[in-house]
Amino acid sequence: MIHSVVIVGGGTAGWMTASYLKAAFADRIDVTLVESAAVSRIGVGEATFSTIRHFFDYLGLDEADWLPKCAGGYKLGIRFENWHGNGEYFYHPFERLRVVDGFSLADWWLAIGDHSRPMDRQVFLTSALCEAKRSPRMMDGSLFVSGLDGSLGKSTLAEQRAQFPYAYHFDADQVAAYLRSYATERGVRHVVDNVQEVLQDQCGWISGVRTAEHGVLTGDLFVDCTGFRGILINKTLGTKFESFEDVLPNNRAVALRVPRETETDMAPYTTARAMSAGWMWTIPLFRRNGNGYVYSDQFITPEEAERELREAVAPDRDDLEANHIRMRIGRNERSWVKNCVAVGLSSAFVEPLESTGIFFIQHAIEQLVKHFPDKTFDPALIEAYNRRINRAIDGVKEFLVLHYKASSRADTPYWKESKVRAMPEPLAERLKLAETQLFDEETIYPHYHGFESYSWNSMIIGLGYRPKKPLPALAHLDPTDALAEFDKIKTEAAEMVAALPSCYDYLASLNE
Ligand SMILES: Cc1cc2nc3c(=O)[nH]c(=O)nc-3n(C[C@H](O)[C@H](O)[C@H](O)COP(=O)(O)OP(=O)(O)OC[C@H]3O[C@@H](n4cnc5c(N)ncnc54)[C@H](O)[C@@H]3O)c2cc1C
């Protein structure tokens, strides 16, 4: 039996892991978390994925309690701005496509939709809520879609059957602090100290970590949550890190925390705006926005990127301090090696587009619990874990490369190069197929990676890459029901916009 787990690192990954292990195994295992006061957290990672609700429900936490304590906001999707280079925008919401007579509304839109307006405004209800900056909850707390309210209890990502309509924005440091209280109240030992040396036995397995002031911390299983440093998994165990920079070249970011001009003007979505050499995020938290420019230093210097970011979001605020971050893009060949499991940035990072960092953490800890070892550390269990983790990351990698390949923007050296850059071979085949037919579950990346075919289709159509003509079959079908469905979405959207409070007003009621 494994009795003790040592987690090194107290960022989002460390505290999510500590909390989850306690929620899963309670006092049947001892958990120690050691974090350095001298090495700061990455300090970004404020937008999430709709599956995050499984995490908070698993911990038994109520949104109305934790969200206001983490400066939280709602995220109904992502608004992509200027990815054509002409100022247009579209939404990629957390909403599946409706189906009429066996064909998705995206297929119907290609055949009979109004092509003078973006597809997302016609096929998704959520786009209207984003446009009107509405909360997904009524003032009485009920959700705008029926049947999805209530706690899921101890469910995992694999049980996500219905598409939950939103995710969260939150302050990464406040989430870490909130989860720290949760975990320590449930018995996690918290050590604030610097790990100076990682000790190994004669077979290379980790036997302990030597700290500056608390001696050697020993355990059966070690979780490396040390961020991009990968102190256990890479520096000690020498695990190979496979870079994705050949296909995803953004390797730096510069972030700013910006007070909102009008505090109440709070959007319920993340914005991803294409810039000259990358893209910029805007993440609305309750009282401020998080902003950042993700770019490739082959095309722009950090100084130029900071200047472009400041001009875009805070032209008069020289007092705001910029956080320059170097990103390690790629994944470990294996994230679980011997008795060490890397979770968070020490395991993998694709880049912040589509906000998958915290999703990877959640996926990793769920899988760690499902594959939790005994002292034999069965290699088959470890292999199964690594296979799942790698597949999820590789799927997201493909999906992100698609964003750059499918975008019609090609006006700067960065965007021109994105069209000729290498791409994973299977993605090239998938994009070829998409010239004839929209994606379905058979033609997207075939293993679990968090995104469904509706996401792949939202992105290619929004980005301007779409089948050359509608499916021939649709010309033989009666379009009456499809047209009625387009009208129904319009009517439902207008009703919802009228009934729902603004995103800010609803959150203000939770913050009272
Ligand atoms: C620019 C950028 C934007 C991002 N945006 C998003 C987003 O919008 N959504 C999303 O889901 N994800 C995002 N991510 C990813 C997200 O930030 C991370 O997945 C998340 O913050 C987890 O980080 P971490 O805990 O792995 O690492 P960190 O936050 O870096 O924490 C590392 C921890 O290790 C400790 N440590 C390091 N060395 C030692 C030592 N020697 N001894 C003891 N402790 C040590 C540090 O003190 C710290 O506590 C983004 C990442 C980047 C780079």
**CATH code, domain with 133:** 3.50.50.60
Do both 414 and 483 map to the same domain?
yes
CA 11 to chain centroid: 16
Which is the closest atom of ligand 1 to the Cα of 361? Answer: 19
Using one digit for the tens of pLDDT, what is the confidence trace for 437-487? Answer: 999 999 999 999 999 999 999 999 999 999 999 999 999 999 999 999 999
Residue spans of alpha helices (H) in 281-408: 302-313, 357-370, 379-406
Question: According to the model, what pLDDT value does residue 91 have?
Answer: 98
Do both 181 and 234 map to the same domain?
yes
Question: According to the model, what pLDDT value does residue 159 have?
Answer: 82
Q: Three-state secondary structure along 460-507?
A: HHHHCCCCCCCCHHHHHCCCHHHHHHHHHHHHHHHHHHHHCCEHHHHH
Q: Whose CA is nearest to atom 13 of ligand 1?
A: 45
Question: According to the model, what pLDDT value does residue 146 have?
Answer: 84
State yes or no: pLDDT of 184 exceeds 90: yes
Do both 340 and 480 map to the same domain?
no
State yes or no: pLDDT of 150 exceeds 90: no
Do both 139 and 264 map to the same domain?
yes
Round the average pLDDT of the chain to a whole number and report it: 96
Tokens encoding 129:
């809520």
Using one digit for the tens of pLDDT, what is the confidence trace for 362-404? Answer: 999 999 999 999 999 999 999 999 999 999 999 999 999 999 9
DSSP state letter for 143: B
Do both 339 and 213 map to the same domain?
yes
Report the b/e string of 284-295 with b at 16+ CB within 10 A. Answer: bbbebbbbbbbb
Q: Is 404 helix (H, G, I), strand (E, B) or coil?
A: helix
Q: How many domains does the chain have?
A: 2
Do both 33 and 131 map to the same domain?
no
Confidence tier at 151 by pLDDT (50, 70, 90):
confident
Q: Contact at 8 Å (CB) between 89 and 81?
A: yes
Question: According to the model, what pLDDT value does residue 161 have?
Answer: 79
In a domain, 85, yes or no: yes
State yes or no: pLDDT of 312 exceeds 90: yes
Question: According to the model, what pLDDT value does residue 29 have?
Answer: 97
Average pLDDT estimate for 232-239: 98
Separation of 290 CA from ligand 1 center, angstroms? Answer: 16
In a domain, 255, yes or no: yes
Distance separating alpha carbons of residues 126 and 135, to the nearest angstrom: 11
Average pLDDT estimate for 405-415: 96
Do both 338 and 479 map to the same domain?
no
Do both 105 and 206 map to the same domain?
no
In a domain, 126, yes or no: yes
Question: According to the model, what pLDDT value does residue 157 have?
Answer: 87
Question: According to the model, what pLDDT value does residue 190 have?
Answer: 98
Separation of 272 CA from ligand 1 center, angstroms? Answer: 21
Using one digit for the tens of pLDDT, what is the confidence trace for 71-104? Answer: 999 999 999 999 999 999 999 999 999 999 999 9
Comparing CA positions, the residue from 99, 98, 81 lying closest to residue 90 is: 81
In a domain, 389, yes or no: no
In a domain, 118, yes or no: yes
Comparing CA positions, the residue from 35, 38, 40 lying closest to residue 10 is: 35
Pocket probe mutation, ligand 1, options 192, 226, 251, max atoms within 8 Å of Cβ: 226
Which is the closest atom of ligand 1 to the Cα of 43? Answer: 29
Question: According to the model, what pLDDT value does residue 278 have?
Answer: 98
Comparing CA positions, the residue from 154, 135, 151 lying closest to residue 143 is: 135
Do both 234 and 267 map to the same domain?
no
Give the domain extent around 145.
74-150+251-326+405-499
Do both 238 and 351 map to the same domain?
yes
Do both 92 and 126 map to the same domain?
yes
Burial of 205 (C-beta count, 10 Å sphere; 0-12/13-18/19+): middle
Distance separating alpha carbons of residues 435 and 439, to the nearest angstrom: 10
The answer to the question of whether 12 is labelled as a binding residue is yes
In a domain, 268, yes or no: yes
Do both 179 and 299 map to the same domain?
no
- Flag the least confident range among 112-126, 153-167, 316-330, 469-483: 153-167
Question: According to the model, what pLDDT value does residue 147 have?
Answer: 82
Average pLDDT estimate for 7-12: 98
Question: According to the model, what pLDDT value does residue 261 have?
Answer: 85
Question: According to the model, what pLDDT value does residue 164 have?
Answer: 93
State yes or no: pLDDT of 149 exceeds 90: no
- Ligand 1 interacting residues, C-beta cut-off 6 A: 8-14, 34-36, 39, 41-42, 44-48, 172, 194-195, 225-227, 229, 231, 253, 292, 325, 327, 344-346, 352, 355-358, 361
Beta strands at 270-275 and 77-81: parallel, antiparallel or unpaired: parallel
Q: Whose CA is nearest to atom 35 of ligand 1?
A: 9
In a domain, 507, yes or no: no
The answer to the question of whether 10 is labelled as a binding residue is yes
Question: According to the model, what pLDDT value does residue 415 have?
Answer: 97
In a domain, 64, yes or no: no
